Structure 1
Amino acid sequence: MLETSETSRPSAALRIVRRGREDYQTSFDAMRAFTDARSADTPNEFWIVEHPPVFTLGLGADQSHVLAAHHIPVVQTDRGGEVTYHGPGQAVIYLLMDLRRSHPKARLFAREFVNKIEQAVIDTLAAYNLAGERKAGAPGIYVSEGEFAGAKIAALGLKVRGNGCTYHGVSLNVEMDLTPFSWINPCGYAGLATVDMTTLGATAALADVQHTLAQHLQDLLTS
């Protein structure tokens, strides 16, 4: 069952929709349908979701980066980026937003939009005493210190339509079976290590991390 909450600020209205565990294709189809149907007055939405195991390919992805799919479905999408994995124990938030409401030249704002999403992940990790960082030319967030320095802990991929409306979003590894990441070249990088928050020593329920990440995204993207 979907749960929806709504917040309104002078600069924006936002609905947060908790979709629970949902098949990726269902979410993907719904995101496109929502974006097709929205008008200038449609509130922006964050969709919080958890997926069964799935590999997803970006629009220009090289399918050879899927080394061995095993039993996991591979879905072609229209987001940017290469191949990634979604599965249980991962906080996924889809960002269905109209960038023109905060910046009239949406294409110029897209880079800042990505930067704010990455900052929200860094702030979320900091709330659990974990340190994350960006890497130039490699979207996402990586562990910045300790035994797992350099490992990827969060990925992002977006679709920005010509009218400035976005969908897809960000995923943060909370407590996962990380094995499927070894069956791909994550984000197109052979041998890229991936990690989750639990492996780094953070004990947090998925729902708590979902809430924390959504709050930081809201603070950065709607203020």
Structure 2
Amino acid sequence: MRRFTESRDDETTDEIWLCEHAPVYTQGIAGRQEHVLNAHGIPVIATNRGGQVTFHGPGQVVAYPLIDLKRLGIYVKEYVYRLEHCVIKTLEADGVTGHRVPGAPGIYVRLDDPFGHAPVDARAPRDREGVRAAVGDPFAGVGKIAALGIKVTRHCTYHGVALNVAMDLQPFTWINPCGYEGLKTVDLATLGVSTEWATVARRLGDRLASHLGP
């Protein structure tokens, strides 16, 4: 991704990469080591994306949009909104309602009713370094189903979004996911949705292409 982005020019065609990783933790550029509680032998890779630590593994759809935002005519805030919207619409195909939580990028579901449409009450107060303030439990009642971490250089994007389909969730308990202590992580299988990785990957890829294309 980095080589592609550094070598592209104004005529380079945008691409969207969809993949599935072997078990690995990735740290954002400002990642704090204390958020890796015990890696249990899983590699921890430093990256230059935003955000803190997250886990990638089999059963998770990872999408890397390599998009020229200047050509598309949008800024980073709108780009993030579109990424999250694509995940929400992908979940909607299986009847799952995805939610945004202010100040905490990614998509969440209500654990008590992942198929209902009532809003979540979670709020994520932040300190000046962008890390959640330790006040109560702002994520009570919600689980994170998709993580988002991006990098933009010369108005071109890389890194992206990871959507949990049917994976081993235990490695998420060995970190503070995305820097949030105690944040519960879920996948579609946890919610009772039986689907194939390829099906979800195709849906997410199609959504991204339609919302990030010319």
- TM-score (ref. length: structure 1): 0.82
2:173 pairs, out of 169, 182, 187, with 182
Alignment correspondent of 1:54: 24
Matched, 1:129 2:95: yes
Alignment correspondent of 2:212: 221
Is the contact between residue 60 and residue 197 of structure 2 (CA under 8 Å) also seen in structure 1? yes
Alignment correspondent of 2:52: 82
1:145 Cα deviation after fit: 5.4
Is the contact between residue 57 and residue 84 of structure 1 (CA under 8 Å) also seen in structure 2? yes
Matched, 1:119 2:85: yes
Partners of 1:112 and 1:145 in 2: CA distance = 28
Alignment correspondent of 2:149: 157
1:144 Cα deviation after fit: 3.1
Please identify which structure carries the higher helix content. 1
Partners of 1:131 and 1:43 in 2: CA distance = 33
Matches within 5 A, 1:141-152: 141-144=107-110, 146=112, 149-152=141-144
1:147 Cα deviation after fit: 5.4
1:71 Cα deviation after fit: 1.2
Partners of 1:145 and 1:50 in 2: CA distance = 25
Q: Deviations over 1:116-158 (max 9, x none)?
A: 0000000000001111100000000000352564100000100
Partners of 2:163 and 2:28 in 1: CA distance = 18
Partners of 2:102 and 2:110 in 1: CA distance = 13
For 2:43, the aligned partner's letter is P
Please identify which structure carries the higher strand content. 1
1:69 Cα deviation after fit: 0.4
Matches within 5 A, 1:26-105: 31-103=1-73
Partners of 1:221 and 1:98 in 2: CA distance = 9
Alignment correspondent of 2:136: none
Partners of 1:84 and 1:74 in 2: CA distance = 10
Specify every segment of 5 or more residues in structure 1 that has no aligned partner in the other structure, as ranges. Answer: 1-30
Partners of 2:29 and 2:56 in 1: CA distance = 17
Query: Which has the bigger relative contact order, CA under 8 A and spacing at least 6?
Result: 2
Aligned residues: percent identity? 53
Is the contact between residue 111 and residue 143 of structure 2 (CA under 8 Å) also seen in structure 1? no
Alignment correspondent of 1:10: none
Alignment correspondent of 1:16: none
Partners of 2:83 and 2:112 in 1: CA distance = 24
Q: Secondary structure at the match of 1:209?
A: helix
1:201 Cα deviation after fit: 1.2
For 1:91, the aligned partner's letter is V
- TM-score (ref. length: structure 2): 0.85
Is the contact between residue 131 and residue 145 of structure 1 (CA under 8 Å) also seen in structure 2? no
- Cα RMSD between the aligned structures? 1.2
Specify every segment of 5 or more residues in structure 2 that has no aligned partner in the other structure, as ranges. Answer: 115-140
